[in-house]
Structure 1
């Protein structure tokens, strides 16, 4: 039985988006509209097969008209032995789960700064993918606006949505994508070796014109905050969301 503020979702599509990640697409059984703001997340209340666990996933939709949106796409990283990972790995098209939301404030503000620094590791890049239609409109309207997206993964096989981010960079001179590999050498012009937070020295974040977003591995988020706080960044211009991975 659904609890208050919960609604049903039905799996309609599932495919791999990296060596260890799945993209899953859900619709409401009544084909109703699913309302959210790009950057927000939903909590999934998994059934007994997943030990009655609740897991939160950012919306990964690349939707141009969210007022009529009827899909909820999420990106799930598969953890060996994880209850949620095993549930999604084995889930067949048509299975139903319950969800609640949307939640979170990792969203774009009404007024743009001079530059967005979007920092992610792994599936933490999902909310930035959801922001692409919004960002494209703003970049076209404001040629002076700059957007830098850094995605940290172990190696190229773990890259998520890189083709879409690279296409965005091709279409907008004021959008920059950079893949950061912790366990592989860089082979392309937009790739570097090292963790995403090691790129701050090159980017020179400045509170006067930057708004920073952090999403992904808690260690990355904590390390980045330690570097940015002494520079004067506060919750007003530094938004963060940690992705916790659990086998329980």
Structure 2
């Protein structure tokens, strides 16, 4: 049973994934349960007050009953309270978490195709699903998986190598990176110059066989929901999670 009780975690690892993204790994004393795709609310102290921000779990491994570690990715926002706190956070520092929350999770039974669309750190909940996706592909080689990640340039891609590894398991898995500020002459076959919205029509999305997951910038979510609504998608096969940015 999932619990929403507050627990304290200690920072055990910290690394920059890009100039704008920090990966933070925390450990608790007791097992922490979650379903891949869910998020936690993190409480931290900043300038004498308590702040809270929500972050999706980015753990790469399949959740286990004795898991005590959670990994999160923080997008740095200029002058943001959370950005300043996590940028300065040292190993051994502690935060409080509440959760898990959210329904951006895989269905018990897979549709014919799973489509994941993300901007920036919105790809982290999909990373946490990779172990389960590998298992499902092994069980059903006909399962199609499409992951589309939108960022400004190649240096800001998150976990691209891991998503590309998924494409090595089956011809039915695809990963596409969309760059809004990358030189079009330097792109490979799984990259394009533009936005994730430029790919929607090429997906030929079908509500009878597809399930679409959206996570990232609010503007992207709103635009995507409008598009897929017009294609006949309903909440049951159009899942989304908005990333809200706050400086306070």
Decide: shared fold, TM above 0.5: yes
In the other structure, the counterpart of 1:231 is: 231
The question of whether the paired residues in 1 share the 8 Å contact of 2:33 and 2:63 is answered with no
State the distance in 1 between where 2:179 and 2:168 align. 21
Q: Is the 8 A contact 1:7 1:99 kept in 2?
A: yes
Deviations 1:207-247 (A, max 9, x none): 01000000000000000011110111110100000001121
1:89 alignment counterpart? 87
Whole-angstrom distance in 2 between the partners of 1:88 and 1:25:
11
Match of 1:193 in 2: 193
Tell me the secondary structure at the aligned position of residue 171 of structure 1. Answer: coil
Residue 50 of structure 1: how far off its partner (Å)? 7.3
Task: Report the RMSD for the aligned CA atoms in angstroms.
Answer: 1.2
Query: Which residue of 2 is the match for residue 176 of structure 1?
Result: 174
Q: Deviations over 1:79-127 (max 9, x none)?
A: 1100000000000000011110000000001010000010000000000
Post-superposition Cα deviations, 1:11-33, rounded to whole Å, max 9, x if no partner, equal: 000001122100000001x2x11
Q: Distance in 1 between matches of 2:49 and 2:156?
A: 28
Aligned to 1:246: 246
- Comparing 138-147 with 57-66, greater Cα deviation is found at 57-66
Once the two structures are superposed, the pairs formed by residues 143-222 of structure 1 within 5 Å of their partners are: 143-186=141-184, 187-222=187-222
Report runs of 4+ in structure 1 exceeding 4 Å deviation: none
Cα offset, 1:66, TM superposition = 2.5
Deviation at 1:197, TM superposition (A): 1.6
Distance 1:133 1:35 in 2: 16
Deviation, structure 1 residue 174: 1.8
Structure 2 gap ranges (5+) = none
Aligned to 2:118: 120
Residue segments in structure 1 that go unaligned for 5+ positions in a row: none
